[in-house]
């Protein structure tokens, strides 16, 4: 029965998307079973669908997804992070999804809050207002706690979990059918795409995880001047309810209001770019949805960010990769950019480094000598990843979210100042990271970390050697220097000396 309902959901969605020009319903009808082919053609004629022109980008796609409802909005937002699947132009269309829907009644929100927090609303809040913002998964209410603090209370939509479960089932059905009949669908790994979407939505629908994300970002960015992350109120947070401190300020959607308040738009644009890059390179943890509606500017110039459902995380090797490729493009050192790709293992070792460096030069050189308004860092990253894929680089999910966020941040910055130079704004952040992590001091710290890891592992290494020696028979492996049956006990001082010696050797080898 559920499969049958999923089929009907997909038919309806197909009609809505076809009307928006998202695909050609009459294309490749030879792949449709013969009995269904005639019915498909009749259906197309009855509903008056038009075939899109070659190269057509469906301009009404975002509106169509909004009409289909919350699950489809999230699908569109997810695909906006996957330019490798939908292409750059369609991704730009999907980026218009604002996730704005009509609110549900305050009474339903109150019922959810009371159920999740286990007390009547009057005992939890002195005031609990009407919704001030409504999105696909949740809406936000302004409230005042019993001790007088103004807070934002985010509440999941009633029944949203069941709605998403039904639609995800339909997505899986469509993906499996597509992969069964289409080689292109198998190449794009549509089932894996749906699995990723499912995990993403599951994370967003547990508001305790969003509270943890806000708390972590507040911690990693604590030293950043004029940047603020609202603190979660853990006592007012549960799986379906999130309470955060209330943020007062001008939303960056109101550019005229920001300018009228006396703020320097050019300085603000540069600051937003540098904040994002600092969080990505220094911390390896960044806000993955930094559009204007999630950014607020206080009277003193402090920038606050909200909505922590989508966060990006980069490990240290990926951060080094990011910093080095950006620095390489800034210095026009394409050979080094190519080498970094090979060192990271992103490009197969059997490919030509010289040919790859030449391809990177074709990406980087056109940006130099042009006006700042004509230089798009997001476009360069898109071309970079297209080039690396042509050389056999597999899709790197963490870089795709980074690329999507970079495009968003660039759009925010250019709304504030059309002439902002993204590359010059990025230079001090990238250069500082390079000095901090790849210069002499950074290498010493890296060697010290390696020495610490060696010290931690040394007892296990020694014990492993003993076991290997005991396991060796008369004709088996023998150590050059036999281990005594009862070796002297190593003290902490002995281990520290051994580790220190090993660390010095590592440092010497590193700089040799």
Cβ–Cβ under 8 Å, residues 337 and 324: yes
Write the CATH number for 212: 3.30.200.20
* Cα 325 to Cα 333: distance, rounded to the nearest angstrom: 9
pLDDT for res 364: 82
Strand partners, 356: none
Indicate the angle between helix axes 397-416 and 316-331, nearest 10 degrees. Answer: 50
Task: Tell whether 280 and 410 lie within a shared domain.
Answer: yes
Residue 507 pLDDT class (50, 70, 90 cuts): very low
Residue 492, pLDDT > 50, answer no
| pLDDT (tens digit per residue) in 362-421 | 888 887 767 666 667 667 777 777 777 778 777 676 677 787 788 888 889 988 998 888
Distance CA(6)–CA(310), nearest Å, equals 27
Same domain for 185 and 112? yes
Cα–Cα distance measured from residue 299 to residue 358, given in angstroms and rounded to the nearest whole number: 49
C-alpha distances (whole Å) from 145 to each of 116, 142, 152, 236, 438 are 16, 10, 10, 9, 48
The residue with tokens 């003290």 is 491
If you average pLDDT over residues 428-455, what whole number do you get? 64
Q: What are the two backbone dihedrals, phi and then psi, of residue 396, each rounded to the nearest 5 degrees?
A: -110, 100
Rg (CA), the chain: 28
**Per residue in 132-154, pLDDT tens?**
998 888 999 999 999 999 999 99
Question: Pick from 438, 468, 483: which residue ends a domain?
Answer: 438
Statement to judge: residues 376 and 424 lie in one domain: yes
Mind listing the pLDDT tens digit for each residue in 467-486? Answer: 666 665 555 545 444 444 44
Q: Are 368 and 415 in contact (CB under 8 A)?
A: no
pLDDT at 34 over 60: no
DSSP string, 374-434: G--HHHHHHHHHHHHHHTTPPP-HHHHHHHHHHHHHHHHHHHH-TT--HHHHHHHHHHHHH
Q: What is the secondary structure of 69-117 as a DSSP string? A: -HHHHHHHHHHTT-HHHH-HHHHHHHTT-----PPPPHHHHHHHHHHHH
Nearest to 461 by CA among 507, 509, 502: 502
Does the annotation count 300 as an active-site position? no
Judged against a pLDDT cut of 60, whether residue 38 lies above it is answered with no
DSSP state, 191? H
**What was the pLDDT predicted at 88?**
67
Distinct helix (H) and strand (E) counts, the chain: 22, 10
Single out the residue in 53, 75, 99 at which a domain terminates.
99
Question: Is residue 261's pLDDT more than 90?
Answer: yes
Residues 166 and 308 in one domain: no
pLDDT value at position 191? 85
309 lies in the same domain as 423: yes
Last residue of a domain, one of 417, 438, 459: 438
The mean pLDDT value for 316-334 works out to: 85
Same domain, 385 and 496: no
142: nearest Cα among 336, 134, 132 = 132
Cα 429 from Cα 166, distance rounded (Å): 45
Residue of 504 and 426 predicted with greater confidence: 426
- According to the model, what pLDDT value does residue 278 have? 94
Q: How far is CA 394 from CA 181, 196, 241, 479, in A?
A: 24, 17, 38, 43
Segment of 52-56, 78-82, 266-270, 356-360 carrying the highest mean pLDDT: 266-270
User: In this predicted structure, what is the pLDDT of residue 440?
Assistant: 54
Task: Verify that 78 and 116 share a domain, yes or no.
Answer: no
Pick from 62, 86, 325: which is nearest to 190 by CA?
86
Domain count, the chain: 4
The single-letter DSSP state of residue 238 is B
Which residues, listed in sequence order, are joined to residue 238 by a DSSP beta bridge? 241
pLDDT tens, residue by residue, 157-184: 999 998 888 888 888 888 888 888 877 7
Q: Are residues 77 and 105 in the same domain?
A: no
Residue 151: predicted pLDDT: 97
What does DSSP say about strands 303-305 and 227-228: parallel, antiparallel, or unpaired?
parallel
* Residue in 84, 99, 289, 417 annotated catalytic: 289
Q: What is the pLDDT of residue 120?
A: 97
Measure the CA angle with vertex 125, ends 108 and 153; round to 5°: 55
Q: For residue 188, give every residue at least 6 positions away whose Cβ sits within 8 Å of its Cβ, in sequence order, or none.
A: 85
> What range defines the domain where residue 478 resides?
441-511
For β-strands 285-287 and 241-245, DSSP reports them as unpaired
Residue 389 and residue 364 in one domain: yes
Check whether residue 262 and residue 228 sit in a common domain.
no
What is the per-residue pLDDT for 322? 83
Helix axes 2-19, 160-181, angle to 10 degrees: 80
31 and 119 assigned to the same domain: no
Q: Name the pLDDT band for 116 (thresholds 50, 70, 90).
A: very high
Helix axes 265-278, 422-438, angle to 10 degrees: 30
Domain check: are 270 and 344 in the same one?
yes
CA dihedral angle for residue 190, residue 195, residue 199, residue 201, rounded to 10 degrees: 50
User: Would you state the pLDDT for residue 506?
Assistant: 40
* pLDDT classification of 85: cutoffs 50, 70, 90: low
Query: pLDDT tens digits for 214-227?
Result: 999 999 999 999 99
Q: Name which of 194-198, 274-278, 320-324, 387-391 the model is least confident about.
A: 387-391
Q: Are strands 303-305 and 311-313 parallel, antiparallel or unpaired?
A: unpaired
């Amino acid at each position: 029965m559920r499969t049958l309902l999923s089929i009907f959901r997909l038919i309806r969605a197909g009609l809505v998307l076809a009307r928006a020009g998202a695909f050609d319903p009459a294309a490749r009808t030879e792949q449709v079973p013969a009995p269904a082919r005639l019915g498909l053609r009749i259906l197309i004629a009855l509903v008056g669908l038009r075939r899109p022109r070659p190269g057509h980008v469906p301009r009404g796609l975002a509106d169509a997804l909004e009409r289909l409802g919350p699950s489809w909005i999230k699908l569109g937002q997810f695909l906006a992070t996957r330019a490798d699947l939908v292409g750059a132009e369609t991704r730009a269309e999907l980026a218009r999804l604002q996730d704005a829907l009509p609110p549900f009644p305050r009474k339903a929100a109150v019922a959810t809050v009371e159920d999740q927090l286990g007390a009547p609303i009057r005992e939890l809040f002195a005031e609990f207002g009407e919704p001030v913002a409504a999105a696909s998964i949740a809406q936000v209410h302004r409230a005042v706690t019993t001790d007088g603090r103004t807070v934002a209370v985010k509440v999941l939509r009633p029944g949203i979990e069941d709605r998403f479960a039904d639609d995800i089932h339909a997505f899986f059905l469509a993906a499996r059918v597509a992969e069964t009949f289409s080689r292109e669908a198998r190449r794009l790994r549509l089932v894996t795409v749906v699995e990723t979407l499912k995990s993403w939505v599951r994370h967003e629908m547990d508001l305790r995880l969003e509270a943890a994300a806000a708390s972590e970002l507040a911690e990693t960015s604590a030293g950043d001047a004029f940047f603020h992350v609202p603190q979660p109120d853990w006592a007012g947070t549960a799986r379906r309810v999130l309470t955060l401190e209330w943020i007062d300020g001008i939303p960056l959607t109101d550019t005229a209001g920001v300018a009228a308040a006396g703020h320097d738009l050019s300085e603000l644009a540069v600051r937003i770019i540098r904040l994002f890059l600092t969080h990505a390179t220094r911390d390896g943890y960044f806000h993955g949805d930094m559009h204007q509606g999630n950014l607020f500017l206080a009277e003193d110039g402090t920038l606050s960010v909200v909505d922590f459902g989508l966060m990006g995380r980069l490990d240290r090797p990926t951060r080094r990769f990011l910093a080095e490729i950006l620095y390489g493009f800034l210095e026009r050192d394409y050979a080094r950019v190519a080498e970094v790709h090979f060192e990271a293992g992103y490009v197969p070792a059997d490919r030509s480094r010289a040919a790859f460096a030449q391809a990177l030069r074709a990406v980087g050189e056109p940006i130099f000598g042009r006006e700042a308004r004509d230089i798009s860092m997001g476009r360069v990253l898109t071309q970079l990843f297209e080039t690396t894929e042509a050389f056999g680089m597999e899709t790197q999910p963490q870089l795709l979210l980074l690329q999507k966020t970079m495009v968003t941040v660039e759009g925010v910055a250019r709304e504030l100042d059309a002439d902002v130079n993204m590359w010059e704004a990025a230079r001090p952040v990238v250069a500082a990271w390079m000095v901090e992590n790849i210069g002499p001091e950074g290498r010493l710290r890296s060697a010290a970390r390696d020495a610490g890891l060696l010290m931690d592992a040394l007892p296990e290494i020694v014990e492993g050697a003993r076991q290997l020696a005991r396991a060796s028979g008369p004709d088996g492996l023998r150590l050059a220097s036999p281990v005594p049956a009862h070796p002297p006990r190593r003290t902490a001082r002995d281990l520290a000396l051994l580790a220190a010696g090993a660390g010095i050797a590592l440092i010497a080898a590193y700089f040799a």
